[in-house]
Structure 1
């Protein structure tokens, strides 16, 4: 045991504070990682939507061009 009984509570408080600080740091890191992940997913979804819209517009334009009647060339 310890020679001074006052140091045991001080050590317990110190260890608890250290553990609490580590836990808070870990929670902050996890929150930041989740925020970055959510931002990346949102950006990916937005870019995918833009790409699909562009592809649909290109397909519609190609379909419109193929539907036009072809002119006979000059002779």
Structure 2
């Protein structure tokens, strides 16, 4: 093997190694972004569910107050 082919081989290995490293880094970055996106979507869904549940409770409480007649009159004094 001549000196030129050895240096070309080393250069090719170096380029391949660099390309593989860049590819691995890109895959890691994409994976981290996907994980962050999934976590954000899960949190958003959980918060939306909690908000809807609270709104339903608020509507039920408002309906209960509107439906029940209020007593108007003197307050009873406690036991004497």
TM-score by length of 2: 0.83
Structure showing greater Rg = 2
Distance in 2 (alpha carbons) for counterparts of 1:47 and 1:40: 11
**Could you say what secondary structure the match of 1:66 adopts?**
helix
TM-score by length of 1: 0.88
- Structure 2, unmatched stretches of 5+, are 75-80
Shift of 1:5: 1.8
**Hey, what does 2:6 align to over in structure 1?**
6
**Hey, what does 2:56 align to over in structure 1?**
56
Higher relative contact order (CA 8 A, sep 6+): 1
Runs of 4+ in structure 1 off by over 6 angstroms are none
Distance in 2 (alpha carbons) for counterparts of 1:10 and 1:42: 48
Counting matched residue pairs gives 72
Shift of 1:72: 4.1
**Hey, what does 2:32 align to over in structure 1?**
32
Greater mean deviation of Cα atoms: 63-72 or 13-22: 63-72
